[in-house]
Amino acid sequence: MALTVRADLANLPDYIPGRKIPGAVVLSSNEVSTPAPAAVLAAIADAAADVNRYPQMANDDLLVRTSEYVGVPQDRLAIGCGSVSLCQQLIQAMCAEGHQVVFAWRSFEAYPIVTQIVGAEAVRVPLTEDYRHDLDGMLAAITDDTRVVFVANPNNPTGTGLRTAELERFLDAVPDHVLVVLDEAYREFVTDPDLPDGLELAAGRENLAVVRTFSKAYGLAGLRVGYAVAPPEVTAAVRKVAIPFAVNRLAQAAAVAAMDAAEELLSRCAPVTRERERVRGELVDMGYEVPESQANFVWLPLGERTAAFNDHLLAQKVVIRAFLGEGARVTIGLPEENDAFLAAARTFDR
């Protein structure tokens, strides 16, 4: 008898990583362009000396340090291989076949993938005309079968942010059987004081999980580590579905060192957000439409012109992330990287 791979996996969209071209300016994956601080690299080197040993199964030291860092008890925390893994574990913990997962579209491309992997149904609610979550539309999309709603704040790839009042109103209106997963991968780049801190929202709520990552502002994209803050019964289930020893020894050590070096790492965010405003301003002056961003990237809703824009930039060795037929997402890098992008954008025939 022949092997039978699950037929439904054929419909699963591939996660498309940013392209890497030798010598190019890479602005496609929302990474920070600055290497990790020396203390973090030293912690990784120290941990490397023991790679013949398994890491701590329960991430003990990292859990203690994260708990202290974010001011959340350990039973409300779960550590994972990046927030993508935590999103997948949250779905595995909450959903089975026949359940529904609601999210905005376009939003983070991992959401439909982690949903379909467990056989749940993805319910996409289109963004509003100004590229923001349609929270009323998302509420209307919730049914008795809905188990999880993803909200990325700020949203990837549009960079748009939801304000505290509108998000609180939404959370109050979501029925009790639904877990809202608030994805704050870019929280450290938020400059609008009206945007919420998810951990403050989570404090009084039993239907909210907040996921955060060390991949972006903390500069550890290559090591895959993040955390979730959620009610204890949810974190317990998230731990149950984890792959044993998934978070490796280097990642655990690096994340602890990154929190110890938080002052230095977070001080790198202001130059990025200043550059974000400069880049957006120049693009708007050139005649591009660019929604206001609260993340470390900008969104150019170019529609059918996206492919031509992407080709033009690639010819100038600037790699961005194109969503064909929709738009281009451009990470904010160092000033000279952004200048290379702006020069290429200026010569695009629009």
Does the protein bind ligand PLP through residue 218 (CB under 6 A)?
A: no
Name which of 82 and 327 has its Cβ closer to ligand PLP.
82
> Which residues have a Cβ under 8 Å from the Cβ of 309 and sit 6 or more positions away?
300, 302, 322, 328, 345, 348, 350
Does the protein bind ligand PLP through residue 183 (CB under 6 A)?
A: yes
Name which of 257 and 344 has its Cβ closer to ligand PLP.
257
Contact 109, 256 (CB under 8 A): no
State the pairing for strand pair 25-26/318-319. Answer: parallel
How many residues form the binding site for ligand PLP (CB under 6 A)?
14
Q: How far is the CB of 111 from ligand PLP (least distance, A)?
A: 8
Q: How far is the CB of 157 from ligand PLP (least distance, A)?
A: 8
Does the protein bind ligand PLP through residue 318 (CB under 6 A)?
A: no
Give the integer Cα–Cα distance in Å for 151 and 317.
33
Does the protein bind ligand PLP through residue 108 (CB under 6 A)?
A: yes
> Which residues have a Cβ under 8 Å from the Cβ of 200 and sit 6 or more positions away?
none
The two tokens of residue 210 are 């907040």
Partner residues linked to 212 by β-bridges: 227
Name which of 55 and 154 has its Cβ closer to ligand PLP.
154
Contact 115, 101 (CB under 8 A): yes
Give the integer Cα–Cα distance in Å for 313 and 310.
5
Q: Binder to ligand PLP among 213, 235, 293, 296 (CB under 6 A)?
A: 213
Does the protein bind ligand PLP through residue 161 (CB under 6 A)?
A: no
User: What is the residue type of 220?
Assistant: L
Q: What share of the chain is helix, strand, coil (3-state, %, to 5)?
A: 40, 15, 45
Name which of 81 and 283 has its Cβ closer to ligand PLP.
81
Q: Quick one: which of 194, 130, 116, 184 has its CA closest to 154? A: 184
Does the protein bind ligand PLP through residue 185 (CB under 6 A)?
A: yes
Q: How far is the CB of 86 from ligand PLP (least distance, A)?
A: 8
Q: Binder to ligand PLP among 55, 226, 327, 333 (CB under 6 A)?
A: 226
Contact 117, 13 (CB under 8 A): no
State the pairing for strand pair 100-105/146-152. Answer: parallel
Choose one: 52-60, 81-89, 141-149, 300-308; the region binding ligand PLP (CB under 6 A): 81-89
Does the protein bind ligand PLP through residue 115 (CB under 6 A)?
A: no
Q: How far is the CB of 338 from ligand PLP (least distance, A)?
A: 19
Does the protein bind ligand PLP through residue 84 (CB under 6 A)?
A: yes
Beta strands in 21-115 (DSSP E): 25-26, 77-80, 100-105
SS3 of residue 177 by DSSP: coil
Does the protein bind ligand PLP through residue 28 (CB under 6 A)?
A: no
Q: How far is the CB of 175 from ligand PLP (least distance, A)?
A: 24
Q: How far is the CB of 186 from ligand PLP (least distance, A)?
A: 7
Nearest to ligand PLP by Cβ — which residue? 82
Q: Binder to ligand PLP among 27, 101, 104, 152 (CB under 6 A)?
A: 152
Q: Binder to ligand PLP among 215, 235, 252, 306 (CB under 6 A)?
A: 215
> Which residues have a Cβ under 8 Å from the Cβ of 105 and sit 6 or more positions away?
124, 125, 126, 127
Does the protein bind ligand PLP through residue 92 (CB under 6 A)?
A: no
Does the protein bind ligand PLP through residue 294 (CB under 6 A)?
A: no
Residues that bind ligand PLP (CB under 6 A): 30, 82-84, 108, 152, 156, 183, 185, 213, 215-216, 221, 226
